[in-house]
Amino acid sequence: MPVISEPYSFNEEDLYVDLQPIFGQPLFLKCEGFNFAGSIKLKPAREMVKAAERAGVLTPESVLLESSSGNMGVALSVIAASKGYRLLCVTDSRCNLQTRLLMEALGAQVHIVTQPSPHDGFLGARLDYIRRLCRQDQRYVWLSQYTNANNWKAHYQTTAPAIARTFPDLDVLFVGAGTTGTLMGCARWFRHWHRLVRIVAVDPLGSVSFGGAPGRRMLPGLGMSMRPPLLDSSYVDEAIQVEEADTIRACHSLARHGFLFGGSTGTVVSGAIDWLTRHDTPSLTTVAIAPDLGERYLETVYQANWVRDLYGNDVLPTATQPLADTREARETRRAPSARSPGRRR
């Protein structure tokens, strides 16, 4: 039985859900939300703070500063509260109310950007605000999850090897793309493993990470309004995009079986199931990474009126309708291929 004194010392690393009974496809879902921050972001948050401490950047007078759509902000709030740092999280109007209240309950200050940048969307506006703060006051320490190599190194050191231990015959890994820290850490680790693993990035439609056209995105978490600085597409075999309506369908299908996951997880699961449906997969060993749990989405993804107002009346499946039936006759939209010429499957 683990006994801890710091909330960032515990993370459940070895929990998987077999999704074949639900979706009829061979897919194991690695659950990353069972820690005190409720998401996979606790790993890079801890690594970035540790690196800043080792470099002597953080002092008792410092104010941690970060841009986040939610989960990284919560993870840093947990760590800052435990270590005694002040934290300012810059988010935007898409951030779930529950997520914002959670950060504030942990002692963080939250600033909400309400107007997107004309060219770089809400993310660009958040980063512009942060840069202005850093110029005005040297007490701010911006960890910059979008450019900080410790973001992907956290997953190189923990997430990827944990998957390899449990699934030594892994064939395909599905990873959601946000800052691409999880994607790059896992892809780099598996590039040097003893067997080839196909890396499939899952991105929401409207994200420009892999060259797709910008569009409306209402769910926080995955996707970017600019190319992620951490992304090296030579490590990615394929990038696919998922409509938000299909994200919501996946979340509700999981919830009907007692698994309440967040929007980012719904996107990854939806993309993975579509990919598996389009390929001959019975003999493949496949894993998808679930970044978050669902409690923070009760007023959005799991709120019927919110869903119908934004996506229409036919998005929510009936009590007996499986996910595959709700998307019949529609093809998954893919981002432009992101293949490495040196890697053939």
Q: What is the CATH number of the domain that holds 111?
A: 3.40.50.1100
pLDDT at 95: 85
Residue 338 forms part of a structural domain: no
154 and 211 fall within a common domain: yes
Lowest pLDDT segment from 15-19, 80-84, 226-230, 278-282:
278-282
DSSP per-residue codes, 220-289: SSS--SS--TT--GGG-SEEEEE-HHHHHHHHHHHHTTT--B-HHHHHHHHHHHHHHHHS--TT--EEEE
> Nearest-CA neighbor of 93 among 64, 118, 123?
123
Please answer whether residues 84 and 94 qualify as being in contact, where contact means their C-beta atoms are separated by less than 8 angstroms: no
Residue tagged 């996910």 (tokens): 323
Residue 331 forms part of a structural domain: no
Residue 111 forms part of a structural domain: yes
Please answer whether residues 210 and 239 qualify as being in contact, where contact means their C-beta atoms are separated by less than 8 angstroms: yes
Mean pLDDT of 268-290: 94
pLDDT at 38: 95
Please answer whether residues 229 and 146 qualify as being in contact, where contact means their C-beta atoms are separated by less than 8 angstroms: yes
pLDDT at 264: 95
216 and 267 fall within a common domain: yes
pLDDT class of 318 with cuts at 50, 70, 90: low
Please answer whether residues 230 and 188 qualify as being in contact, where contact means their C-beta atoms are separated by less than 8 angstroms: no
pLDDT at 313: 85
Angle in degrees, CA 262, 265, 267, rounded to 5: 110
Residue tagged 């061979």 (tokens): 26
83 and 163 fall within a common domain: no
188 and 136 fall within a common domain: no
pLDDT digits (tens, 9 = 90+) for 4-30: 999 999 999 999 999 999 999 999 999
**pLDDT over 70 at 171, yes or no:** yes
> Nearest-CA neighbor of 155 among 180, 185, 196, 191?
185
**pLDDT over 80 at 119, yes or no:** no
30 and 136 fall within a common domain: no
106 and 208 fall within a common domain: no
* CA distances to 58, 86, 90, 113, 328 from 103, in Å: 20, 12, 11, 16, 40
pLDDT class of 325 with cuts at 50, 70, 90: very low
* CA distances to 133, 180, 230 from 128, in Å: 9, 21, 19
pLDDT at 339: 44
pLDDT at 316: 84
pLDDT at 332: 41
Lowest pLDDT segment from 120-134, 137-151, 306-320:
306-320
Give 160's DSSP letter.
H
List, in sequence order, every residue forming a beta bridge with 35; answer none if it has no partner: 11
pLDDT at 85: 96
207 Cβ partners below 8 Å, 6+ apart? 177, 214, 217, 222, 223, 224, 225, 241, 335
Mean pLDDT of 152-166: 98
119: tokens are: 């060219």
pLDDT digits (tens, 9 = 90+) for 192-228: 998 899 999 999 999 999 998 888 888 888 988 889 9
Mean pLDDT of 49-59: 95
Residue 85 forms part of a structural domain: yes
124 and 173 fall within a common domain: no
Write down the mean pLDDT value for the chain.
Answer: 90
**pLDDT over 50 at 81, yes or no:** yes
131 and 214 fall within a common domain: no
**pLDDT over 50 at 331, yes or no:** no
List, in sequence order, every residue forming a beta bridge with 327; answer none if it has no partner: none
273 and 176 fall within a common domain: yes
pTM for the whole structure: 0.89
Which H/E stretch holds residue 3? none
Angle in degrees, CA 303, 178, 91, rounded to 5: 65
Mean pLDDT of 296-323: 82
Mean pLDDT of 30-37: 96
195 and 285 fall within a common domain: yes
66 and 123 fall within a common domain: yes
**pLDDT over 50 at 280, yes or no:** yes
Domain membership of residue 307 as a residue range: 7-35+150-326
136 and 159 fall within a common domain: no
